[in-house]
Structures are given as structure tokens and as C-alpha cells.
Chains A and B, each alone.
Chain A
Amino acid sequence: MSNGYDLSASQFSPEGRVFQVEYAAKAVERSGTSIGLRGGDGVVLAVEKLVNSPLFENDSGRRIFTVDTNIGMAVAGLTADGYALADIARQEAANHRQQFGSPITVNHMCERISAYMHAYTLFGSARPFGVSITLGGWDEIFGAQLFKIEPSGKSFGYFACASGKGEQQAKTEMEKYKFVDMPLENLVQSAGRIIQLAHNEAKDKGFCFEMGLVGKDTAGLHCINPEPWLSLAVQAGLEALHEEDEDSDD
């Protein structure tokens, strides 16, 4: 099908597709699910960390990063690419603060990262980033903001978004709710539910739940795995699992 037009990102196919970018998206589809939910007064980012081995430490293989005091970033896809982009994001935030004396807004950060990721889709000498970045932030003026950036550099603002293996499952679950005015506790519980339901136990044995949270209740600071919300989310996930078991028993 691709017939030689997929060897570098600098080539179009006759149908007008850039295959390398599409292959990068496939790398995202292979990774553990990551979701973002935007509520009334905060944003929750949650990740299904697929655990290949009980030898791993609990908090390693981190896929959620703090990129500025009030902005968090979740990564789906090649995690190493995600690390590099987290560093770029942090530099952008720092530069903005140094130049303009005030913190970068989430939409500006999104534009800068999109432009950066897009630049890598233009040349044959580099490959595109194999990650989908979910950016979540909160501030006094704009409130809660959620953006997702795809490997092509395309980005959208979302009320709720998902990427990775369980993307379809997660989206189905998300469409049932209206997150826009949801208080933080319910948002966190929904995140726990959605990740649990998007997880495919048959294919991937066991996962570790990781969560990033920023909102009015965290004083505008992005926190990773903060209590008591982490417990709420994990609990909600377990309850969802039991419901599912009960349904399948009937």
C-alpha cells in the first residue's frame, strides 16, 4: 500500500498522506491509555501504566510530568520521546517567564509544543515524535484548560480526551458524562473509572494508575498522585471493576 512513499517524513504519497506521521500515530496506539478530563475547577490527567514486571518500582516509568507550576503533561506513546518533549515544554515555560515576567498560558504552551512537534514532520533527516501529549492546566483567569497534541503537530482543546490502547473504550465511556461543571472529586473518580474500564485485562496483565491534578483545590499547583484524590480514583476504579464483574455474571 505504501510502496516506497513511507521511507521519510519528507515524502507525500500520491493520495496526499505522509506515512511516517501516520506510523508515529500507530506508536501512540500501542501504548497504555492516557486521558485528560476538564472539570469546573480543575483538570485531571490519568494514565494506565502497563506493568510488564513485578520487578519495577511503583513510581518508575512516570508518564505524567509537571512542566510549569500550574501545567501538567501526560504522555502516550514512546515515553522517551515524551521525556524530551517535557524538557522542551519546561524550557518554553521558563523562557516565557523570563521574557514576559508572567507564566505561560496553557494554550500558548500548546501552540509552542505543536510547532515543535510539527517541525519534526517536515524533514527526511529526523523522525516525528511518536507521542500524543495531553496538556492540562489551571489558572485564575482562564480556569481549567485541556489540550491534546498529536504526532502530526495537530492540536485541539478538549473537554475530555483519550489516547493509547484504550482510546475507543475511554471515549465511549467519556461521552456518557458532562465534565464541564463537575467538581474535582467526581472528576477524579471518573478518571479512575475510565482508566479501569479502558484497561484490557485479557491482553495486558495488571496496570499501575498514575494521576496528575491541578485546580483551585490544589492552590493552582500541579500535583502528581496527590492524596486524598489518588485513593478516591483508585477506589472508583475498583468499584467500576466489580460492577463489570457483576454485569458479566448476570
Chain B
Amino acid sequence: MFNNGIVQPLWYNGPSPGQFYNFPGYANNGNMKQCHETNNSDSTRSTAMITTGSSVLGIKFDQGVLIAADTLVSYGSLSRFQNIDRIFKINDNIIMGGGGDFADIQSIMRSIDQKMIEDQCYADNIAMRPKALATWMTRVLYNRRSRMNPLFIDVVIGGIDENNEPYLANVDLRGRAFSDYVVSTGFARHLALPLVREKKPADRDFTLEEASELIRQCMEVLYYRDTKNSSQYTVGVCKVKDSTSNQCDVEGPFQVDEKWSFAKMVKGY
């Protein structure tokens, strides 16, 4: 033990007393250790979604944007919270619909709400525009994913940009941003997007009536076909009222007009 008066360790390359030990040949074991360490490089955190919001659908029309989402937040396959507003009014120019992990949506909403208060503190009577917020979200989400610690969200951001132009964008958990006259997340991407694109007139924008009707139809289709959708939904509207102000609200909840009468025609019903 003592060699030339210096205490020698009892063993080499083995576990240190009191420390978690990484057994050789196994990668990333001892998850407890990673909880306590600061994570600058590779770490495996749980990137699973827990409480989730389903699809969000946004449609741009001549005077503004509509963003719709159902009011369900699921817990796996359990329809756990059935009356949750997933459309948010950010300020007089911006509305946002949140899909994906709902805790992450709530977290980013806290940051966004604080951002709007800071905006007000500048006291310059300029409120943030949707493109600015979408750009910011993109950067945040991209940086989070680059650090292997994503916010598991898929959001639709829309509103009235400068020059009273409607703006609509979709930003996802990898920081991929996309702006178009119709955007969606989740199952709506498969079911609703083609439906809306088919109805789009080639030479002009949708009118408010056309856009509303499309929202109604798409919400109906999503309810029938997406198992994680419910029949109740809210719609955010952001449209130009006059040259200086917008009408920006979240309306609802609306109910899908469920038609199950065809069930009797199904064999085995």
C-alpha cells in the first residue's frame, strides 16, 4: 500500500469510490450521471413526446390568415385534456398554433409572452410582426436541435406583416421553416394540405368565406381519420381591419358536424 511513503490506489482503471462507473464496452450507461453533468457534448436525453397536441392547419386568404387546431391534448393514446386552446394570440399582428409536445409549447409560449412584454417596454409603438417571430422561432429550434436537446414542437405562425400583407409559416422541431398560403402540422399535412391545394384558385387568393369553409371541411376530415383528433376545435383569425389596425382573435370552440349515419351501411356495424 505504501510505497516510498506515498499512498498507492488499491486498483487502476476501475470504479472510483462514490462515483458512478461507466462499464467499459457500454455506451452511455449510468443515465443518472448525465442528469447531473452539464451537457456540452453527446448526451442522451429522453426526446420522447409525452402530452401531445395533434394537427394544426393554417390557411392564408386575401385579408389575413386563419389557423385552426382541435382542443385535444393527448397522453399517448389517451385523450386526456379535451378542452385546451392550442391557438394563441401573440399580439395584434400575430397568431400561433402549437402542435407536438404540449409542455414544450407552454415553455416556448412563456418565452414569447415575455418577448411581447419587452416589445412593449421599448415604448416605440411598434409591435412585432409574424415574420420576425417565425425567424426567431426557427433560430431557437434549430439551435436546440443542434445541441441534441430539441423542443418537440411543430408550430404554425401567421398574421399580418408590414404593408398589411398576410403571412403564414410553419416551423418544426428541427428548425425547418416554410412559408406558403397553406401550412399544416401532423396528420393535417397528409389529409388537409392536398384538400386545400386542390381548391386553390390559380389566379387569386382565397376569400375569407372560402378559407373558413375549407377549415370546416378539413377539421371534419381530420376528426374522422386522425385517431388523435377530437371533434371540438378553435380557430384563430388575424385579418386587416383598416390601414392601421387588425382584428386578431381566437374564436371558438366550434364543433365538427359529425355524420355517422353511414355507419349503418357498414357491414358488421
Contacts and interface: CB of A to CB of B under 8 A. Distances in A.
Contacts of B120: 66, 69, 221
Contact of A90 (B110, B113, B118): B118
A19 interface: no
Contacts of A62: 123
Given A68-B117, A69-B117, A90-B118, A98 B110 contact: yes
B209 to A, nearest CB: 32
A51 B67 CA distance: 50
A224 B123 contact: yes
Nearest to A212: B123
B255 interface: no
Interface string B100-127: 0000000000100110011011110000
A66 B125 CA distance: 12
B121 A67 contact: yes
B143 to A, nearest CB: 21
A108 interface: no
A62 B124 CA distance: 12
A221 B92 CA distance: 14
Nearest to B116: A69
A65 B123 contact: yes
B146 to A, nearest CB: 25
B227 to A, nearest CB: 33
Contact of B123 (A66, A68, A97): A66
A178 to B, nearest CB: 30
12 contacts: A65-B123, A66-B120, A68-B117, A68-B121, A69-B117, A69-B120, A90-B118, A97-B114, A97-B117, A98-B110, A98-B114, A221-B120
B229 to A, nearest CB: 29
Nearest to B113: A97
A18 B121 CA distance: 35
A94 B117 contact: yes
B110 A65 contact: no
Interface of B: 110, 113-114, 117-118, 120-123
Interface of A: 62, 65-69, 90, 93-94, 97-98, 221, 223-224
Given A97-B114, A98-B110, A98-B114, A90 B123 contact: no
Contacts of B114: 94, 97-98
Given A67-B121, A68-B117, A97-B113, 11 more contacts: A62-B123, A65-B121, A66-B120, A66-B123, A68-B121, A69-B120, A90-B118, A94-B117, A97-B117, A221-B120, A223-B123
A223 B110 CA distance: 23
A118 B113 CA distance: 31
Contacts of A98: 110, 114
B72 to A, nearest CB: 23
A221 B122 CA distance: 13
Contacts of A67: 121
Contacts of A93: 117
A66 B110 contact: no
Contacts of B118: 90
Report, nearest first, the 4 A-B pairs whose CB atoms are least far apart.
Answer: A224-B123, A66-B121, A66-B123, A94-B114
A153 to B, nearest CB: 24
A97 B110 CA distance: 9
Nearest to A90: B121
Query: Which of A62, A68, A94 has the most chain B CB atoms inside 10 A of its CB?
Result: A94
A41 to B, nearest CB: 21
A97 B121 CA distance: 15
Contacts of A90: 118, 121
B52 to A, nearest CB: 23
A221 B114 CA distance: 15
A68 B123 CA distance: 11
A98 B120 CA distance: 17
Nearest to B114: A94
Contacts of A69: 117, 120
A98 B113 CA distance: 10
Nearest to A103: B117
A69 B114 CA distance: 10
Nearest to A67: B121
A209 to B, nearest CB: 16
A169 B113 CA distance: 42
A90 B118 CA distance: 8
A224 B120 CA distance: 11
A140 B22 CA distance: 58
Contacts of B113: 97
Contacts of A65: 121, 123
A65 B120 CA distance: 10
Contacts of A66: 120-123
